[in-house]
Structure 1
């Protein structure tokens, strides 16, 4: 059998590969697009033809001569993985998801390798073996081009007939479920990769924003201000104890005086790759433009330009451009036995060695702590054993191997650890006397824990469920910070139930640090309504650009 080496035309091989992808690598697509295949046999057949045609035309463009077999082999592997993750976690493979994959690090990527991943790879072996044995017939370039164009024309005609035959169903799918195109493998992988690859790479300095930014004068003898911004990872508001969750996952924060919890906060996006740059940008979600955000300075660059030292301490996979050119302390690969084991460090490393990040107490200072937080799927590894209160907890990266109760238990245990770290950070800020200090915590995005068959995060914005977009946020101001900034913390607590978004972060931190610029918007400053003198001594009202 293995001695058999079929001789095929390139178009025949493409057609067979297209059929293979339809039958074996699109389970998530079929599940999302067709409710009852047996009762909708005609529509199912038409949709199968369309998926075949899309992949066949795509392969016709990239699978030529000696490249054909290597390209098809790579696509079989990529398609199998994409299908596995789409089925196992409910993710969609769009450009944002591809950026997440390309910009991840070894520590993060290895956490997604499980027996399910290995099984998906193993499933491609028979097809790869057959592909290896195939010999492609050769033609003159002109004849090969003519045959390929004819093949594409026939495929396009067949696709057109399929659309005409099921025009009503196809129109409904396009209008109401456009996101299903991100499940068609391997077209989703190839198109998303091409989109990311053709994006203009930023070179040189970023475009300046808020060029007029300046620190407002302070009273003689005023203490410098220290603002610690803690960027959470994958914490969702639905499981946040302070926001009414059935479990008290934030017991220490609940017992800490002065903590203000914001109960209705919406993230810029459903993934770190989108949310992190967005929440530090002037554009925000209101004027979201991924390229513009990448090409322009972030809030941190504006603060640094006014003379405020800014430090980014990272226990994740980087700042996604937000801190480019600024001091950065990478802690995710530290060798502190108290907080690190294997390839990862737990978030306690962010508070270690306070002297390295608290500063000298001579000038205003901003410190950003970027957490590993509740990054999945290995929630159980995010919290030390002492915080694994809820049991049994899922200890597998294949979340499908665990019950929803086990998944939620592991997730909530990680939140308990985040709560402990935030309360400890507040204690440290309360204990020091060099600064008027404040802490703001906000998560970058939420998480799905099995609702409607979805896990993890990263769903396209238009269809992302609330649990991936609604995030926790808290603020704590020392009495000195509140007095110096004229912020009424009682007023802030009363207004904390009002809806806000990540777009408020940019303007709120400008206001809290008394940075004046025409780019500031008081209507996006969460502190402004509770600063009676904000108009007189705070930043000026200005435009959004």
Structure 2
């Protein structure tokens, strides 16, 4: 019979590792773990700092060293507060795994783990999350999680009487606090200036970033649950004159389309050839409420919007759709994404996330044309004024190549990999532009559908929720904190199509709208513009934000 020794010629070395069980105090372990996090899990933070501190000067190195001590000290204090013999391996093991995942995504896509980004992560749908699981993540987990966890499993804790252990911990925490304070005071002006001018940099400090953001998310949820609902537009009524034809408005919420690559807005490539042949008004200077769906979607349908932004208040307020419902407008939401983020609560909702419709769905995702499936039958369910929201999958990354049928792959070669860094920048742009070509087709098809409606005055409003980075400044995807987000993430396309009957009923001048197409607009304009277009009267309507009002008869 073979022995273990014959199977492993280096058995003594192998067994030496398995017999290795170092004994260490919790205090020493906390200091060592904090040092390892600081040195090996903060690559994004150190790169960010190195780009803004001149390390060729002695003062620059002093500032970098001070930041290292502060990052180490804060994590050490956190661990010294949390760790006990019974929970230390569980807590640090969890921190290692989550931080390893954070290291990968911050490095691969240059994301900041702020509160909004963590909300996006927590609300991600499994199919959406699965597209972000790449071979690069597996390698990162092997290096940053598997190896440290194997070492952690071998550690044994030194046991001391609780009173002695408490005293030692107090002394260690005092020393760490003094070091932290000393480092901060020694370079206070430099550190304060950097933190003041680059506030989002704190969301790169790992694992403190995701721990603090997670605590904020939990705190906000508890706080919001204990605050009252904010009614909006409860006095809303339809003001359409008797005998007027019922109005049908389709609002298409685009996903991740940036203005820079929108053909109608002057992009060098004609990514919107079909819309160019429709009688649309394209607005060229539109700013999004946020850089993620989690922020932008509730914000664009809110009365208060970005100009008076309060996420908690928006979440507790009636949305535009609920105001329309107050007025008696039939409202429905059709979704090819991850839901309406609370915007359509209490209203008819239809998801195609798990649909299985031949020619449109592949078992994992459906093309956006699925949003038009059986739509005529849905319209027949209501004879009065209607607003239908179509929430696209659009250009959701990183798998842009999966957002359009093969016939729309006109810009080649296109990136066919979710790990965007493995493609050239042009391949990424090609795949992204092909997805816009498909959105162009989808919108043109929707306009044709509305044009064919008899007995109704129809309209379409299209606006994307946020933009996207395609490798510029080494940034990919979206979700950069709003104050430092690049224009490609905050500038979005928006267009309007109005049937001749609706223009006549409203007295709207198409020439006037075209003349205003370059005026600055934002998601904040959507609320009052829709109310005005649907002839809904309420005290919460703001005439100054209705983009159609200047083009109506005075």
Structure 2-normalised TM-score? Answer: 0.93
Residue of structure 2 in register with 1:287 after alignment: 308
- State whether structure 2 residue 101 is matched by structure 1 residue 81: yes
Which residue number in structure 1 is paired with residue 478 of structure 2?
Answer: 457
What's the offset of the Cα at 1:483?
1.3
The aligned residue for residue 382 of structure 1 is 403
Task: Quote how far apart the aligned CAs of 1:342 are.
Answer: 3.5
Contact 1:359 1:365 in 2 (8 A): no
2:515 to 469, 494, 500: 494
Q: Does 1:482 align with 2:498?
A: no
Post-superposition shift, 1:361?
5.7
1:65 is aligned, of 76, 85, 103, to 85
Aligned residue for 1:50? 70
Instruction: Quote the residue 1:539 is aligned against.
Output: none
CA pair 406-14 structure 1, distance change in 2 beyond 3 A: same
**TM-superposition CA deviations, 1:442-488 (whole Å, max 9, x none):** 00000011111111000111101110000000100001111112221
Which of 204, 209, 218 does residue 241 from structure 2 map onto? 218
Of the structure 1 ranges 129-138 and 384-393, higher mean CA displacement relative to structure 2 is found in: 129-138
> Which residue is equivalent to 1:240?
262
Equivalent position of 1:4 in the other structure: 20
1:422 aligned residue? 443
SS of residue matched to 1:343: coil
- Of 277-286 and 135-144, the range deviating more from structure 2: 135-144
Distance in 1, matches of 2:468 and 2:514, equals 26
DSSP-derived class of the 2:283 partner: strand
Query: How many residues are paired up?
Result: 531
Match of 1:109? 129
Find the residue that maps to 1:193 and give its secondary structure. Answer: helix
Q: 2:43 aligns with which of 27, 31, 38?
A: 27
Distance 1:140 1:277, change over 3 A: farther
Aligned residues of 2:230 and 2:317 also touching (Cα < 8 A) = yes
Name the residue aligned to 2:11.
Answer: none
How far 1:354 sits from its partner (Å)?
Answer: 2.4
Secondary structure of the residue aligned to 1:23 is helix
Correspondence 1:157-196 to 2 at 5 A? 157-196=178-217
Deviation, structure 1 residue 265: 0.2
Of stretches 234-243 and 155-164 in structure 1, the one that deviates more from structure 2 is 155-164
Contact 1:357 1:367 (8 Å CA) reproduced: no
- Output the CA distance in 1 between the equivalents of 2:495 and 2:86: 58
Residues 103 and 81 (structure 1 numbering): CA distance in 2 closer, same or farther, change over 3 Å? same
**How many Å separate the matches in 1 of 2:339 and 2:229?**
18
Shift, 1:68, TM fit: 1.1
Contact 1:311 1:357 (C-alpha < 8 Å) held by counterparts: no
Q: CA RMSD in A?
A: 1.5
Aligned match of 2:9: none
- Superposed CA deviations along residues 399-449 of structure 1, whole A, max 9, x for unmatched, are 111111010000000000000000000000001113110000000000011
After superposition, residues 117-136 of structure 1 pair within 5 angstroms as 117-123=137-143, 124-136=145-157
Cα distance in 2, alignment partners of residues 84 and 38 from structure 1: 29
Partner of residue 438, structure 1 = 459
Matched, 1:208 2:231: yes
Is the contact between residue 235 and residue 326 of structure 2 (CA under 8 Å) also seen in structure 1?
A: no
2:5 counterpart residue number = none
* SS of equivalent residue, structure 1 residue 198: helix
Q: Output the CA distance in 2 between the equivalents of 1:145 and 1:478.
A: 76
Q: Distance in 1 between matches of 2:76 and 2:380?
A: 60
* Conserved 8 A contact 2:528-2:541: yes
Deviation at 1:140, TM superposition (A): 4.1
Residue of structure 2 aligned with 1:18, choices 34, 40, 47: 34
TM-score normalized by the length of structure 1:
0.95
Q: What SS does structure 1 have at the residue aligned with 2:458?
A: strand
Task: Summarize the Cα distance change of 1:240–1:190 in structure 2 as closer, same or farther, 3 Å threshold.
Answer: same
Structure of higher CA gyration radius: 2
Q: Which moved more, 1:521-530 or 1:5-14?
A: 5-14
* C-alpha distance in structure 1 between counterparts of 2:182 and 2:317, whole Å: 47
Q: Find out whether 1:314 has 2:314 as its counterpart.
A: no
Please list every run of 5 or more consecutive structure 1 residues that lacks an aligned counterpart in the other structure: 534-545
CA contact (8 A) 1:281 1:297 kept: yes
Cα distance in 2 between the residues matched to 1:160 and 1:419: 57
Structure 1 residue 356: Cα displacement: 3.7
State the alpha-carbon separation in 2 of the partners of residues 142 and 82 from structure 1. 37
The answer for the alignment partner of 1:250 in structure 2 is 272
Of 370, 373, 379, the residue aligned with 2:394 is 373
Q: Conserved in 1, the CA contact under 8 Å of 2:395 and 2:435? A: yes
Q: Who is 1:537 aligned against? A: none
Contact 2:354 2:363 in 1 (8 A): no
Aligned position for 1:516: 537
Shift of 1:38: 6.0
SS class of match (1:65): coil
